[in-house]
């Protein structure tokens, strides 16, 4: 009994000490708060005070999960699908998508709306609903395009046992799926959302595809890890790339005041039927990789390559070999 009393006393003393420490710390809070407020008045402050809420990353992840159930019905979600229930299921998913997407597009638009600094903008809310409906109308065509990407992956990877395995397991397809969805929102001039989408895909797949890139049908990324595709990259049809490929900018031109010039082509153009092997780096807005070329691993390219050319990296030098074209 005495031991229990001693234990209870020790517990009481510990709790009392913690409460006293918390109470003492509460007196230190006001000056810290004041200092934090003062930092928001500095020129390079990162605060977002006085503006409408920005989009929610978690909500955008939820949107992508709903889109998975629509683009690949029967693969994702929490119920088995049958032909006699498919219409109801897709209608329900589209309704959820419309409501959630409209809300997040509205937040994106209000974030950049010059008419408000806080509160809500009726015009932004209405436009968000219109743009959400416009995006949803594109989904049937996007399903067709992504089916081509699945086919390209199955054709290009002998390790793929089935298309089901590709849809479930391949990070390259996941990155391409999110890119194609985000790209359409970018074409609709929706701010922030497309980049949040592709950065989420980057975090889970290792492939960094800017939503502004233009990518043709039958696109295949094998392994995905470390792939970087810049904003103004243009990729033709039936292109295959491997891990750690960079399609980037050679330099960043500046204006007379030393500011980076934006909205110019900084990244390469990859024509149809090109294969780019692992660790290749291709840079520059004027760099064009000609149709049917093969770019070997570990090469560094900053100038255009003619069609049907093989570029390989030897021990001491990089070698360019013309390819024979079948007539």
Q: Which tens digits make up the pLDDT trace of 161-187?
A: 999 999 999 999 999 999 999 999 999
What is the CA 188 to chain-centroid distance, rounded?
Answer: 16
C-beta neighbour count of 210 within 10 angstroms: 22
Secondary-structure breakdown of the chain: helix, strand, coil percentages, each rounded to the nearest 5 = 45, 15, 40
What digits encode the pLDDT tens for the residues 289-308? 999 999 999 999 999 999 99
Domains annotated for the chain, with CATH where assigned, are 53-207 (1.10.3130.10), 230-327 (2.160.10.10)
**Residue among 169, 168, 193 at smallest CA distance from 181:** 193
pLDDT above 90: residue 25: no
Does 95 have pLDDT greater than 90? yes
As a whole number, mean pLDDT of residues 112-134 equals 81
Residue 51 pLDDT: 64
- How confident is the model at residue 145, as a pLDDT? 98
> Which of 22-31, 213-222, 257-266 has the least mean pLDDT?
22-31
pLDDT bracket for residue 116 (50, 70, 90): low
At residue 264, φ and ψ (nearest 5 deg) are -125, 160
Contact in structure between 276 and 293 (CB atoms under 8 Å): no
């Amino acid at each position: 009994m005495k031991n229990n009393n001693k234990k209870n006393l020790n517990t009481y003393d510990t709790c009392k000490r913690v409460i006293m420490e918390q109470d003492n710390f509460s007196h230190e809070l006001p000056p810290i708060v004041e200092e934090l407020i003062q930092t928001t008045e500095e020129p390079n402050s990162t605060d977002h005070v006085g503006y409408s809420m920005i989009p929610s990353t978690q909500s955008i992840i939820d949107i992508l999960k709903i889109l998975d159930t629509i683009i690949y019905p029967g693969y994702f979600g929490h119920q088995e699908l049958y032909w006699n229930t498919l219409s109801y299921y897709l209608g329900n998913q589209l309704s959820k998508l419309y409501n959630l997407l409209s809300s997040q597009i509205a937040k994106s638009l209000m974030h950049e709306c010059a008419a408000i600094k806080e509160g809500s903008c009726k015009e932004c809310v209405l436009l968000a609903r219109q743009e959400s409906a416009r995006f949803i109308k594109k989904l049937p065509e996007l399903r067709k395009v992504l089916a081509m990407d699945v086919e390209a992956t199955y054709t290009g990877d002998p390790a793929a046992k089935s298309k089901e395995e590709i849809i479930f397991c391949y990070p390259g397809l996941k990155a391409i799926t999110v890119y194609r969805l985000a790209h359409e929102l970018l074409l609709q001039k929706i701010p922030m959302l497309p980049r949040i989408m592709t950065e989420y895909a980057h975090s889970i797949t290792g492939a960094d595809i800017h939503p502004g890139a233009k990518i043709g049908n039958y696109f295949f990324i094998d392994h995905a890890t470390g792939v970087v595709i810049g904003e103004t990259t243009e990729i033709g049809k039936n292109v295959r790339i491997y891990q750690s490929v960079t399609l980037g900018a050679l330099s960043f031109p500046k204006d007379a005041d030393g500011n980076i010039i934006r909205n110019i082509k900084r990244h390469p153009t990859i024509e149809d039927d090109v294969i780019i092997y692992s660790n290749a780096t291709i840079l520059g807005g004027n760099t064009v990789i000609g149709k049917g070329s093969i770019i070997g691993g570990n090469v560094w390219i900053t100038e255009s390559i003619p069609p049907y050319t093989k570029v390989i990296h030897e021990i001491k030098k990089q070698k360019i070999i013309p390819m024979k074209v079948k007539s």
